[in-house]
Structure 1
Amino acid sequence: MVNYRGSSHFRTSVTSKFFSRTPSPYKITLYITFLFAFSIFTFLFYTRDALENEQKPLLSEESQSQEMTDETLWSAPFSHGLHPCVKPTARYKASQGWDRYITVRSNGGLNQMRTGISDMVAVAHVMNATLVIPQLDKRSFWRDSSTFSDIFDELHFITTLQGDVRVVRQLPKELESVPRVRKHFTSWSGMSYYEEMTRLWKDHQVIHVAKSDSRLANNDLPLDIQRLRCRALYHALRFSPLIEDLGKKLVERLRSNGGRYIALHLRYEKDMLSFTGCTYGLTDAESEELRIMRENTNHWKMKKINSTEQRMGGLCPLTPKEVGIFLQALGYPSSTLIYIAAGEIYGGNTHLSELTSRFPNLVFKETVATQEELEAFSKHASQTAALDYIISIESDVFIPSYSGNMARAVEGHRRFLGHRKTITPDRKGLVQVFDKLENGEIKEGSSLSYLVMKMHKYRQGAPRKRGGSLPGIKGRARFRTEESFYENPYPECICGSKRNFEMTQR
């Protein structure tokens, strides 16, 4: 304070001397030069201190930002203490069904069959019947000849469900030649429908179900039936020891190489592109090949599809190039280890190179496993898909490029196991972003990252209740728009506190 007042007095006295009489041009110039030099000195002195003080926080913020980014990229969403709960209530009783049998032909690929079989376990319980080990689909796109025991642990399936449903390997010999009723159960049906179907037992001992997928409603079923579906899918339908052992080995190898990895379900395969009619980024010859395949596949009902409309509606799988842009925009570095959980990518390296140019550390089961290890699974697509499933479940991050059967099944299983990080791309929103990028309206970098990260802030697999049907849709068509029970088994199979657990049973 003293020094401050003293310096003020000094400046005042100097000024009075200069202006005590009419100043000469020389003195005015000298005074202005003095003030200018003093101002420059003061500015440099305080600027240096400010810069020194600011540099330390900046470095600290960069370090903190890196840590936060790393946590954001890999950490699972907060699960709020939720955990699996599949135990039956006190009112639950196992079915008997000693003299009534249901046989099933499971249709579709691996995950369509898995969820269908789980549905049929619940249907057998409701109809008080014995379930015969299902026959697997051998007529699908993959022409897989695998039997139930080739893919699943049959004995484990039977013993795990013995408190729920009686399961046998085959029909008793005396019933093999007995006429059976062949039934196409209505999709997404509830309890009252299957209770009505029990009238079939008056005239038949055996019911054959031609299709297993989507036989039960997603919602409005008794708690015990929903939990039975979860017990069947997540506990009873364990893969065969051969598949389980190799799957665990491959996960260990991925961990030893990179520590953390993304499982990318890159559904850029011939059958999916043909089925959806998505030809964006393909050559005319490739588009024509897919059109011919769709025309020649009898059970695919839609033949003429507008590819542009499909893409704008978010109904197409992301292309390898789009996936690469998406992952970079989310902040994943080019060194990230990515396991491709998929079959043969359509167009091979021609299309895949657009992803590997951004993320060269891509691996497939063929590169993680030895040729000898995979030999037993040769020409069995469902068995190799089971390996992809195990690796996807155990990954640090799971990202599907399309919301197909595997994507939904893996997401639901990861939610059941503790809401492991699952990023589901907003394909409809991303198409608009990619088009702006292609048109030069935006550029790759911070602005693109901001848009993509904002768009996917709440698409990371955090706990949420299962979605209902879309508004404005009436009749049975609304069931098709509901979120699949197996995609999100909350709240029936995922509980919070004991109090919440008890409330769910009321």
Structure 2
Amino acid sequence: MCVGPFSGFWGYASVPGSVYRSYENFQRLWDDIRLDNSSALQLSSVWKYKRRVKVQKPCPNSTARNHFSMYRTSIMESPGSSGYLIVDANGGLNQQRSAMCLVLTIRVHIWFCYAHICNAVAVAGLLNAILVIPRFELNSVWRDPSQFGDIYDEEHFINNLKGYVNVVRELPEALMEIYDQNISNIPNFRVQAWATVNYYLGVVLPILRDQRVIRIAPFANRLTMNVPSHIQLLRCITNYKALKFSPPISSLAEKLVSRMIERSSMTGGKYVSVHLRFEQDMVAFSCCVYEGGEAEKLKMDSFREQEWKGKFKRKDRVIVPALNRIEGKCPLTPVEVGLMLRGMGFDNNTSIYIASGKIYQAEKHLAPLREMFPLLYTKESLATPDELAPFEIFMKLECPAASLRGILLSWQL
């Protein structure tokens, strides 16, 4: 349950904004919305980005590169590497890239660069280690079996890191024999969160040199943000140069973008892409109440217990749905997204691309959004069945938003 032991004393239920009423508001405003389309002049101003666009800074200059070469030479006890580094990237795709540094849009741009795979490369450089292609954990919630090569171009990754960090697809046979051909048999070294450079050099490096291989799992947030420029260089190169989607994903992505532009002729090829994060797992995890009444509450309680066990029943956990809504912590429903876009000035001639997994109660929640924006598209409406067929196994998994399944269900153009 999402209500802690003292929640009964919290009188938020009657506070404005504490109860979901967006669909009621839509019904009340619909006649005005339907009749009030922005003029061409007004709409054209919506597409303009009035702030000065920030120029993307390049990766650190040659000074940092020279410092890295000098650093790598300085920590070598003997010619060659210190050993092999294996990391298990856990979490959703955005977290995993930050272990590599990623969440993506299918325009083959990357959003949100925080901390795992970029960090894996940075740590390998810090330790003068050979990095084994990162493994993705099979998350108990997402149940996505996809691995690095399903999502990224491995050859591109390896080649773009040459001269900085050596990357291999697997351990040498001699080491695999020691661990009965099973990487999971390699003892897991648990690194403290946000570990410093000194921690890695003082604690991890000696063990790596002694054992010749080290496995770190989980790897989320295992390196401090504050690192020397020559190590930050590795994060940068990984994120902006080494990570590239695999050819099947890149090819289909470009087709979808092209088709969206073709279908947006009334707005000069411009369209709005919306990631509707309103799947059942997101609704359940938020502990927010919508309009489903007692039946919805029981369903969500059951789903939370099934997926996260006792996480929401801990005695120290006090979660009040009404307070969550007041504080803006509830996932936006499709109708709320539609009202927001209409309020911004986008009229019903605007093409909308919906990136999403299976929307919670989709028929009910998507209907008002379609009324506001009839030109609504998804990957299923843009791609042919044959084009989607190679990815079908991932699209049928039960839960949204991790690894390759996350790309397929949450493609943002």
TM-score range, shorter chain: 0.7 to 0.9
Superposed displacement of residue 66, structure 1: 5.4
Residue from 203, 212, 220 that aligns with 2:219: 212
Q: Partner residue of 1:361?
A: 375
Amino acid at match of 1:345: I
Q: Residues of 1 paired with 2:346 and 2:48: CA distance?
A: 9
**2:389 corresponds to:** 375
Superposed CA deviations along residues 137-195 of structure 1, whole A, max 9, x for unmatched, are: 22343322222211111111111111221100000111114364312322223322222
What's the offset of the Cα at 1:369? 0.7
Task: Tell me if the contact between 1:278 and 1:316 (Cα under 8 Å) persists in the aligned partners.
Answer: yes
Q: Distance in 2 between matches of 1:80 and 1:385?
A: 29
Matches of 1:299 and 1:160, distance apart in 2: 42
**Quick one: percent identity of the two aligned structures?**
39
- For 1:183-222, list aligned pairs within 5 A: 183-196=189-202, 197-218=204-225, 220-222=226-228
Aligned to 1:171: 171
**RMSD of aligned alpha carbons:** 2.5
Q: How does 1:442-481 map to 2 (within 5 A)?
A: none
> 1:285 offset after TM fit, Å?
2.2
2:85 maps to which of 102, 113, 120:
102
CA spacing shift, 1:377–1:80, aligned 2, 3 Å: closer
Does residue 285 of the first structure (1) align with residue 292 of the second (2)? no
- Cα offsets for 1:46-85 (capped at 9, x unmatched): xxxxxxxxxxxxxxxxxxx954652343437412545443
CA distance change for structure 1 residues 86 and 342 in 2, over 3 Å: closer, same or farther? farther
Counterpart CA distance in 2 for 1:299 and 1:111 is 24
Question: Tell me, what secondary structure is at the counterpart of 1:378?
Answer: helix
Compared CA separation, residues 99 and 83, structure 1 to 2 (3 A): closer
1:274 is matched with which residue: 273, 284, 287?
Answer: 284
Q: 1:374-419 CA distances to partner (integer Å, 9 max, x unpaired)?
A: 1101132533533577743xxxxxxxxxxxxxxxxxxxxxxxxxxx
Structure 2: distance between partners of 1:298 and 1:68: 47
Seen in structure 2, the aligned counterparts of structure 1 residues 302 and 73 have a Cα distance that, compared at 3 Å, is farther
The answer on 1:294 being equivalent to 2:308 is no
Tell me which amino acid in the other structure corresponds to 1:208: R
Structure 1 gaps, min length 5: 1-64, 393-506
Check conservation: 2:161, 2:238, Cα contact below 8 A: yes
Q: For the residues of structure 1 that align with 2:309 and 2:50, how far apart are their CA atoms?
A: 40
Q: TM-score, normalised by structure 1?
A: 0.60
Match of 1:162 in 2: 162
| Range that drifts further, 209-218 or 359-368 | 209-218
Q: Which residue of 2 aligns with 1:262?
A: 272
Say whether the 8 Å CA contact 2:133–2:148 is kept in structure 1: yes
Q: Does 1:386 align with 2:392?
A: no
Residues of 2 paired with 1:270 and 1:78: CA distance? 39
Given the alignment of the two structures, is residue 150 of structure 1 paired with residue 150 of structure 2, yes or no?
yes
Counterpart of 2:68, as a letter, is Y
SS in 2 for 1:339: strand
How far is the alpha carbon of 1:279 from its aligned partner? 2.6
Task: Tell me how far apart the structure 1 counterparts of residues 211 and 386 of structure 2 sit (CA, whole Å).
Answer: 48
Mapped pair 1:134 → 2:134: yes
C-alpha deviations, 1:115-145, integer Å up to 9, x for none? 1122111111112211101112223433222
Determine if contact 2:278/2:359 at 8 Å carries over to the other structure: yes
Q: 2:158 is aligned with what amino acid? A: I
Q: Structure 1 residues 77, 216: closer, same or farther in 2, change over 3 A? A: farther
Match of 2:95 among 109, 112, 125: 112
Q: Structure 2-normalised TM-score?
A: 0.72
CA–CA distance in structure 2, aligned partners of residues 384 and 84 of structure 1: 31
1:91 matches 2:97: no
Following superposition, the deviation at residue 86 of structure 1 comes to 4.6
Please say which of residues 209-218 and 80-89 is displaced more in the overlay. Answer: 80-89
Give 3-state SS (helix, strand or coil) of 1:105's partner. Answer: strand
Which sits farther off after the overlay, 336-345 or 241-250?
336-345
Amino acid corresponding to residue 174 of structure 1 in structure 2: A
Counterpart of 1:346 in structure 2 is 360
Query: Structure 2 residue aligned with 1:75, among 24, 27, 49?
Result: 49
- For the structure 1 residues 87 and 271, does the alpha-carbon distance in structure 2 shift closer, same or farther, using more than 3 Å as the test? farther
| Structure with the greater alpha carbon radius of gyration | 1
Distance 1:233 1:76 in 2: 28
Structure of greater relative contact order (alpha carbons < 8 Å, 6+ residues apart): 2
SS at match of 2:150: helix
